[in-house]
A and B are shown apart, each in its own frame.
Chain A
Amino acid sequence: MTAEPTSPLAGWTDRLAALAPALIVAERPYRSQLTVRVSDPDAVAAMGSALGVAFPPVPCTFSAGSGPFGDVEVLWLGPDEFLVVAPPGLQTEIEEVLRGALGSHRGSVVDTSAQRTTVVLEGPHVRDVLAHGCSVDLHPSSAPTGTCVQTLLARTGIVLQVTGADTFTVLVRSSFAEYLAAWLSDACVEYGVAS
């Protein structure tokens, strides 16, 4: 007996795809996500080398790289808090590796893979769409690639990563994902999508 997983936006795949070309939107489900609390510099460095990605030293940024777990991102969430994001199915292994790196230092590692889902946004209108609901200045001079902020988009909390010139990644709490999808769909009407 093997149960099949369902992602928070499984029912939205077609509707989100229909927002193109105004906005290219796709869920990236099932990614491995671990909430890490750590402040000791040695432990931070050890975790970074275990993943092959140095942890971001600057608030409101993320780092990305490749290592034993493939392409991994480490998002700054707070002064001693990070979110490690990796390809699907690796959460148990990564949790173990990070615990090892933490050793006896203060901190914690929690598997939060299903706590949030990931939505990737792309296109020339992406900043306009986000500006309808996000009060953070997303102009490239204020939010260059590599920026990672936790803020509000309309009425839901999000983690927002600037991943490229016109590409953003939004992490949203799973229970809010459908609200986010509905809000994005409505905001895209302004850019030529049928309402």
Chain B
Amino acid sequence: MTFRKPTGGEIDRHTLLRFTFNGVEYTGHPGDTLASALLANGVHEIGSSVKLGRPRGIVAAGSEDPTSLVQIEAPFPEPMLLATTVELYDGLVARGLAGQGRLAPEPDPARYDAKHEHCDVLVVGAGPAGLVAALTAARSGARVVLLDEQNQAGGALLGVDEYLDDRPSAEWVGDIVAELRTTPGVLVLERTTAFGMYQDGFVLALQKRTDHLGFAAPAGVARQRVWRIRTKQTVLATGAHERPVVFADNDRPGIMLASSARTFLHRYGVLPGSRAVVFTTNDSAYCAAIDLAESGVDIALIADARPDAPARLATECAARGIEVRAGQVVTGTEGPGRVTAVSIGDTRIECDTLLVSGGWNPVVSLFSQARGKLRYDTELGAFVPGEELDTVRAAGSATGELDLNACARQGREAGSAAAAAAGFTPGGQVPLPVSDSRCTSRSGLVVWRVPGADDASFVDLQRDSTVADVLRATGAGLRSLEHIKRYTTIGTAHDQGKTSGMIAAGIVAEALGVELAEQRPTTFRPPYTSVSFAALAGRDRGELHDPVRVTAIHPWHVANGALFEDVGQWKRPWYYPKPGEDLHTAVLRECRATRESVGMMDGSTLGKIDVQGRDAGRFLDMLYTNMMSTLKVGRIRYGVMCGVDGMVIDDGTVIRVGEERYLVTTTTGNAAKILDWMEEWLQTEWPHLDVHCASVTEHWATIPLVGPRSRDVLAAVAPDLDVSNEAFEFMTWHDTHVAGVPARVCRISFSGELAYEINVTAWYGLAVWEALMAAGEKYGITPYGTETMHVLRAEKGYPIIGQETDATVTPQDLGMSWAVSKKKPDFIGKRSFARVENNRTDRKQLVGLLPVDPTVLLPEGSQIVETDRLPEPPVRMLGHVTSSYPSAALGRTFALALVRSGHERIGETLYVPYEDSLVPVTVTDSVLYDKEGARRDG
């Protein structure tokens, strides 16, 4: 049997859409929602409740619906959507949910994006108030954005068949929208829900752009878009939601809000059932009853909780044969699933539909998010905006006003005031429409629950929370609505308590014997309606999830089979496996080649900062623990930087380029941080210093050329350079040409081997790298990655900042007292070195560890203990392994570790819990290879 009227509604009856729900095929029409199409097919049961498994139906027609949760299965799995907000499309497959859905296991093929938008006046809601507000602001010349969550403008007008100015309201809406669309600087967005309002006029809105197209959605168009709107002024014309009344057995399918039934009728041409009982506390349900009766629904009875029924409306009902009983309430319902009968006092009435109206809740969510104070309106029985904000105004039924003409007037005033506050003078006045509506009275009886309704009656249908749950909370001594919300979970479902929150507050107030006006409402928080993570992620996923930074030489690494390691946002070659090699064998090969002949790596990611000015030396003396002002032009010094707490924050080399100019290098991960650190001291503490810093990290490509044959390779590509040890000493630099390109070559080493660091303008990095590869071919030059670099430096006991250090490690802990000046009167961190804490002998200090079994590779991060048998917990941990590798040069495994009193323990045997045993290790000095430094000069 169909419940679709032959005419009426905003649907296209000439086009059939096929869809499947709970395994059954149905048809609907363009313009339908999944809910309206199901109702047209007589389907009221959607799913079942989350805890009790009770059947759940459709309570409302829009996003306030608490119950019609569905899982979309095709075109793409998507859980927890409301049947009332899913626009129908051909081929849709959905099923009702038992409270929870399932996420797609496969990647979502749809696109999502975000867009920033700036405006003078943002209007949320395209009902009568919002339309007039937007047009008023637009006529003043302001940049206006008008949002509405429906697929067309009109708001509450979409659910009625009333006339404005003696013509169908759709014509009035259409005229306004048409003018808005043709006004420059105005953006009108349908299917767009403002879900969060934040400081400084920042509003987030979700636009569902192609959801409604289903399988026909074009692949190139972002399915959903998060609009990031920055507005000077906002008009909230967000409307009001009808709320139910709590009574016994109030959760059966077929029990629906009266205005929602009216919406299904007028917007979709759908009847909610054949025979309906109406239960109301106010006038508005009369209009629903009359309209439904005129469309052929048998209205069995209107039970009005008020002692007297409104005379004029009662007369109209009588004229249509509708019985009205005043002072009556619903006392119970029956039905195996859907409602089959309703009890009004002693009367039992058979029906398939129960329409309920308990009054109206203005939608104040965004106003509250904007920190607007709410006020309890006793007459309305709801919270309304309680103050005027400088930049946010409410208009229309969002304020509690229900008369259309008055709503439109508020819209005009708000639009005009918002435009004026944004600096615009009024344009042509927008005329206010006159409505023929019969049901505009605000006056109703505020009833939260029917007297005598049992405690098992539902307050939050989605959370299966009952009156008993509320009373248990108040009985436990909870008084704050915030606490009761968390205790009962009322208002925490997908609908955020749009229909249940106010009722829960009312029942709490009654239970506590306090006035609602004294109660603080729960804080409204974003999002107003559900937003998928995919939409929030937008374009920031896959390869765009986080920027991938690459060096100028990157294409070569890719072409030559490098595997990459992420270092911050950089992709760095990790190692270059040859066919059949794993990490272990590749790294042993790279290490051996480098120590025995020559290797080369891409060091371009190192941070580089140009420091210039008369006071540059003085400045660097303050930043580094060692002395930089005495460094001679042409020379290089290694330096350590500490925070004011004396803990190491970075290290690197300092090159003296000129009398007043240095080039400082930082670790890869700290380049931006150290530049900020320098600027912080220069700008906030020492502005008198004549020093300027500039990042040149990406201006230079940097290539360490390492190993005993590096001198030969360099000589081959740098004919102008005297590479002899005498002419080019360790820790000096020379400007020259490498492969014909101007280059700065530094003789520094992070491996203990003879090594050069070649710096060229980044544009030439790739070409120079290739020239070096060619020149080194006869020496078996071997490109190596970060893993080999780590092994080579660890064999020499050189710490890596962030691996051997963790913001609790001093230079002394690292055994680097030699890098801490005793001559300088002050530098950052110096005073902290004198603190008692920094001089404890049991500080964790950097040492080497040699497993007694030279084949055991200790996992990095392993703890270190003192005894060969674990005592009862707590076990005293002496420290942890910071680096651990197999070493080609040592012919065994080794590790670096931070160990309590480590420097005093050299020679001791300690133990590392590893799998089920305690591995004995010998503590050694951290320098394990070439302690004499014999290899430095080749």
A contact set with B: CB distance below 8 Å: 1-8, 11, 29-30, 35, 37, 106-108, 110-116, 128, 131-135, 137, 139, 142, 154-156, 173-176, 178-179, 182-183, 186-187, 189-190, 192-195
Of the listed stretches B39-47, B157-165, B697-705, B924-932, name the one at the interface; the rest are far from the partner chain. Answer: B697-705
Q: Knowing A110-B612, A112-B699, A189-B111, say if A131 contacts B116 (CB, 8 Å).
A: yes
CB–CB A194/B220 < 8 A? yes
Q: A114-B761, A175-B605, A183-B544 are in contact. List 9 more A-B contacts (CB 8 A).
A: A106-B614, A112-B695, A114-B698, A134-B116, A135-B228, A175-B549, A179-B548, A183-B539, A189-B111
- Cβ–Cβ contact A6 & B228, under 8 A: no
Give the contacts of B204-221 with A (CB-CB under 8 A).
219-221
B570 on the interface (CB 8 Å rule)?
yes
A-B contact pairs, 11 of them (CB 8 A): A2-B740, A6-B763, A108-B610, A110-B696, A112-B694, A113-B699, A132-B114, A132-B115, A175-B549, A175-B698, A182-B544
* Cα–Cα, bound, A135→B116 (Å): 6
Residue of chain A at shortest CB distance from B542:
A186
Do residues A3 and B768 form an inter-chain contact, with CB atoms below 8 A? yes
> Known contacts A154-B544, A183-B544: does B111 contact A3 (CB below 8 Å)?
no
**Residues 751-765 of B at the A interface (beta carbon under 8 Å):** 761-765
| B546, B699, B763, B765: most-surrounded residue (chain A CB, <10 A) | B763
CA of A155 to CA of B540, assembled, Å: 9
CA distance A139 to B613 in the complex (A): 40
Interface string of B320-349 (1 = CB under 8 A from A): 000000000000000000000000000000
A189 / chain B contacts, CB cutoff of 8 Å: 111, 220
Interface contact B699-A132, CB-CB below 8 Å: no
CB distance from B494 to the nearest CB of A (A): 28
Residue of B nearest to A8 (CB): B552
Q: Tell me whether A3 and B761 are in contact in the complex, defined as CB-CB below 8 angstroms, given that A110-B610, A156-B547 are known contacts.
A: no
Chain B at the A interface: mostly helix, strand, loop or mixed?
A: mixed
Q: Closest CB-CB distance, A130 to chain B, in whole Å?
A: 9
The complex places the Cα of A4 from the Cα of B741 at a distance, in Å, of 9
Q: Which residues of A contact B696 (CB under 8 A)?
A: 110, 112, 115
* Given A37-B692, A115-B695: A190 in contact with B113 (beta carbons within 8 A): yes
Query: How distant is the Cα of A6 from the Cα of B548 in the complex, in angstroms?
Result: 19
Given A35-B694, A106-B613, A114-B763, check contact A192 B220 (CB 8 Å): yes
Question: Which of chain B's residues have a CB closer than 8 A to the CB of A37?
Answer: 692, 694
Tell me the bound Cα distance from A139 to B762 in angstroms: 35
A107 to B615, CA, bound (A): 11
Interfacial residues of chain B within 767-794, with CB under 8 A of chain A in the complex: 767-768, 771
Closest beta carbon of chain A to B115's beta carbon, Å: 5
* B764–A5 touching, CB < 8 Å: yes
Among residues 519 to 558 in chain B, which have CB atoms less than 8 Å away from a CB atom of chain A?
A: 539-540, 543-544, 546-552, 555
Contact of B690 (CB < 8 Å), options: A3, A106, A187: A106
Within 8 A of A (CB), among B345-391: none
With A114-B761, A139-B143 known as contacts, the answer to whether A186 contacts B612 (CB < 8 A) is no
Q: Please name the residue on chain B nearest to A30 by beta carbon.
A: B763
A3: which B residues are within 8 A, CB to CB? 739-741, 764, 767-768, 771
Tell which of B118, B717, B761 touches A139, judged by Cβ atoms closer than 8 Å.
Answer: B118
Query: In the complex the two chains form, is A1's CB within 8 Å of B766's CB?
Result: no
Q: Is B230 an interface residue (CB 8 A)?
A: yes
Q: How far is the CA of A186 from the CA of B543 in the complex (A)?
A: 11
Question: Once the chains are docked, how many angstroms separate the CA of A174 from the CA of B604?
Answer: 12
User: What distance in Å separates the Cβ of B668 from its nearest Cβ neighbour in chain A?
Assistant: 11
| Known contacts A132-B113, A132-B115, A139-B143; A175 and B766 CB within 8 A of each other | no
What residue of chain B has the Cβ atom nearest to residue A189's Cβ?
Answer: B220
Interchain nearest-CB distance for A172 vs B (Å): 10
In angstroms, Cα B543 to Cα A108, docked, is: 38
> Bound state CA distance, A190 and B114, in angstroms?
11
- Listed from nearest, the 9 A-B pairs whose CB atoms lie closest are A3-B767, A5-B763, A175-B549, A108-B692, A108-B612, A179-B547, A137-B118, A114-B762, A37-B692
Neighbouring A residues of B228 by C-beta, 8 Å: 135
B117 at the interface (CB under 8 A from A): yes
**What's the nearest-Cβ distance from chain B to residue A111, in Å?**
7
Among B221, B614, B739, B767, the residue within 8 A (CB) of A190 is B221
Q: Report the Cα distance A175→B230, complex, angstroms.
A: 31
CB contact between A179 and one of B222, B549, B699, B771 (< 8 Å): that residue: B549
Residues on the B chain within 8 Å of A131, using CB: 115-117
User: A5 vs B553: C-alpha distance in the bound complex, in angstroms?
Assistant: 11
Do A108 and B118 have beta carbons less than 8 Å apart?
no
Tell me which residues across on chain A come within 8 A of B765, comparing CB atoms.
Answer: 6
Complexed CA–CA distance, A19 and B739 (Å): 36
Which residues on the B side are within 8 Å of A11 (C-beta)? 555
| Distance, CA A28 to CA B297, complexed state (A) | 72
Say yes or no: B117 contacts A178, CB within 8 Å.
no
Chain B neighbourhood of A193, CB < 8 A: 220
Q: Identify the closest chain A residue to B663 (Cβ).
A: A110
Chain B residue nearest to A37 in the complex (CB): B692
Give the one of B544, B547, B741, B761 with max A CB within 10 A: B547
Contact status of A182 and B230, CB under 8 A, knowing A3-B768, A173-B698: no
CA distance in complex: A107, B610 (Å): 12
Bound: A11/B692 CA distance, A = 35
Chain B positions within 8 Å of A156 at CB level? 547
CB distance from B568 to the nearest CB of A (A): 11
Q: CA A173 – CA B698 in complex, angstroms?
A: 7
Residue of B nearest to A10 (CB): B555
- Complex Cα gap A11–B771 (Å): 20
Given B116, B230, B539, B762, which contacts A187 in the complex, CB threshold below 8 Å? B539
When each residue 6-20 of chain B gets 1 if its CB lies under 8 Å from chain A and 0 otherwise, what string results?
000000000000000
From 223 to 267 in chain B, residues with beta carbon under 8 angstroms from any chain A beta carbon are 228, 230
Of all chain B residues, the one with the shortest Cβ separation from A92 is: B742
Q: How many Å lie between the Cα of A155 and that of B116 in the bound state? A: 14
Residue among B115, B549, B694 making CB contact with A176, cutoff 8 Å: B549
State how many angstroms separate the Cβ of B794 from the closest Cβ of chain A.
27
Mask for B421-445, Cβ within 8 A of A = 1, else 0?
0000000000000000000000000
B88-131: contact bitstring with A at CB < 8 Å (1 yes, 0 no)?
Answer: 00000000000000000000000101111110000000000000
| Residues in B whose Cβ lies below 8 Å from that of A7 | 763
- For A6, the closest partner residue in chain B by CB is B766
A190 to B115, CA, bound (A): 12
A110–B116 contact, CB under 8 A? no
Q: Is the CB of A154 within 8 A of B766?
A: no
Partner of B539, one of A35, A178, A186: A186
Could you tell me if A155 and B115 are in contact, using CB atoms closer than 8 angstroms? no
Q: Contact at B570–A175, with CB atoms within 8 Å?
A: yes
* CB nearest to A195 among chain B residues: B220
Q: What is the CB-to-nearest-CB distance from A20 to chain B, in angstroms, rounded to a whole number?
A: 16
B-side contacts of A112, CB under 8 Å: 694-696, 699
The residues of A that contact B111 with a CB separation of less than 8 Å are: 189-190, 195
| B-side contacts of A192, CB under 8 Å | 220
Closest to A185 in B: B544
Q: Is there contact, CB below 8 Å, between B698 and A190? A: no
Looking at the complex, which one of A1, A107, A155, A175 makes contact with B740 (CB distance below 8 Å)? A1
Cα distance A175–B539 in the bound complex, in angstroms: 20
C-alpha gap A175/B552 in the complex (Å): 8
- Shortest Cβ distance from residue A159 to the other chain B in the assembled complex, whole angstroms: 13
A183 to B762, CA, bound (A): 23
Complex interface: chain B residues within 8 A of A115 (CB):
695-699, 762
**B222 nearest in chain A by CB position:** A190
